[in-house]
Chains A and B, each alone.
Chain A
Amino acid sequence: MPKIKLPTKSPHIDMTPMVDLFSVVLTFLMLTTTMRQPEPATVDTPFSISEKPTPDFNTMTFLLSNDDRVFINFDNGPDTLLKYRPKILTLMGTRYGVEFTPAELREFEKYPSSLGVPILKMKEFLATKDSKGRDAFQIGIPLDSTDNQLSLWILYARQVNPNIQACLKGDSKTGFSTVKKVLDILQEKNVNRFNLITSLEATKINLEEIQQQ
């Protein structure tokens, strides 16, 4: 019997279903993704068992870096519509005799990350376009008693948005003296409820251990 010769053909894989699937996954990821904004200082948040998610709006976040700089951020949630940010900056500018042009206010509103710029340097900061040049201005918000700009930022932020909540995002290595200073300033302004931003880490306590004793 003659052998049946199979024609040697390069097997052609139909990739259509694969492409379909990829498209779906890609679309999903593109829609759900929220781009992480680079913060001016890298912060490793400590862990806790808390499962409460961070609120999306009405927050002011204090970023405490481990080199004792303090940054502040007003949320970029729905308040971009209500334009809290430019209002806060205008109030802050009037206090220090700096007048901001509408273009500068828009630039401030668009700035996606935390700010650690002294108010007198703000104009230069907003005029700088590249991110490296901007980073040079991020020296932290002054908070000593002679020039307590942080307390004024808090005051005006609460004036503009009375529902604002304080969130603290600190590095686990941040010295407690800085944290204490920020907490004191907040308490002076009658903010007694804080949200500490942490990462989730599950811990279980040993039930038997409790029951034995």
Chain B
Amino acid sequence: MAEIIQEEKVKGGKKKAKKHAPHIDMTPMVDLMCLLITFFMLTTAFSKAKIMEIVLPEKIKDPNQKAPVIAASRTLNIILGPDNKLFWYPATVKEEDYNNLPPVMETDFSAAGIRQMLLERNRTLARKIADFNNQVISGKIVISQDSLLSAIRKLKNDDDTGPIVLIKAYKKANYGNFVDILDEMNICGIARYTFVDIAWYEEKMVETAIGSSPPASTSTN
């Protein structure tokens, strides 16, 4: 502590000043510091924003190049609809069948909705990933964070039973839905998914589903 040395009045010879450390009142200082700390704590952004990576398929610029063909049995189409609705249908629809379009199923972003649907289809892979994660957590496998990620990536690459998910957006969808569905892919450990443009007949399918959804969502034909 700083000690202020008082000048001693020796010359007068009357009295010797008492030598004691004067007590500095620190209350205002503490008050000020409290304020500053509160201010900094509120303004500091401790949690940095996170990012989610997505790689979109390259645009086909060469007209002779054809889009890659994927097995219809494994294809699962998810369409982001208006008002946070989700529509999905399995396999592929050919453009020629436009007057006999299959019905689309309606679901939502809840755990019982899209997540269960995806997990059902992706059961084998999801279980493999979950088992692997469990073994790491319980200490049966000792592995570094980086190789953990690459091991999971390898599991995903080796998988050949899970669905290939094509995500499409109806025009009235919003960005939050887009992120949510990509997030759902990560949660369910879907190995292959991508985002593609919606086809006109798929828009039609959604419109019929919305139009006919109050009585029954399946009576489209």
Contact = CB atoms under 8 A, between A and B. Distances in A.
Partners in one complex: yes
Contact of B37 (A26, A167, A205): A26
B186 A193 contact: no
Given A205-B187, A207-B130, A172 B45 contact: no
A120 interface: no
A18 B51 CA distance: 40
A23 B32 CA distance: 11
Nearest to B61: A188
Interface of A: 12, 15-16, 18-19, 22-23, 25-26, 29-30, 32-36, 45-55, 64, 167, 169-180, 183, 187-188, 190, 192-200, 203, 205-207, 209-211, 213
A140 to B, nearest CB: 15
Given A33-B44, A205-B119, A211-B127, 11 more contacts: A23-B33, A26-B36, A48-B182, A174-B176, A179-B178, A187-B58, A194-B56, A196-B53, A196-B54, A197-B49, A200-B50
Contacts of B115: 205
A48 B53 CA distance: 11
A206 B1 CA distance: 59
A36 B187 contact: no
A173 B50 contact: no
A46 B53 CA distance: 14
14 contacts: A15-B30, A22-B30, A33-B43, A46-B179, A48-B182, A49-B183, A50-B51, A50-B183, A174-B175, A187-B58, A195-B52, A197-B49, A205-B126, A210-B127
A22 B179 CA distance: 42
Interface in B26-73: 26-27, 29-30, 33-34, 36-37, 40-41, 43-45, 47-59
Interface of B: 1, 23, 26-27, 29-30, 33-34, 36-37, 40-41, 43-45, 47-59, 80, 111, 115-116, 119-120, 123, 126-127, 130, 134, 169, 171-180, 182-183, 186-188
Contact of A47 (B40, B55, B183): B183
A210 B119 contact: yes
Contacts, number: 169
Given A15-B27, A15-B30, A188-B59, A175 B174 contact: yes
Given A18-B30, A199-B49, A173 B176 contact: yes
A193 B91 CA distance: 27
A198 B26 contact: no
Given A49-B187, A175-B174, A198 B49 contact: yes
A25 to B, nearest CB: 6
A160 B175 CA distance: 30
Given A36-B43, A49-B183, A209-B119, A198 B171 contact: no
Given A26-B33, A29-B44, A176 B50 contact: no
A211 B130 CA distance: 10
A22 B177 CA distance: 45
Contacts of A33: 40, 43-44
Nearest to A203: B187
B56 A36 contact: no
B88 to A, nearest CB: 17
Contacts of B58: 187, 190, 192
B45 A34 contact: yes
Contacts of A16: 1, 26
Query: Residue among B29, B40, B43, B180 with the most chain A CB within 10 A?
Result: B40
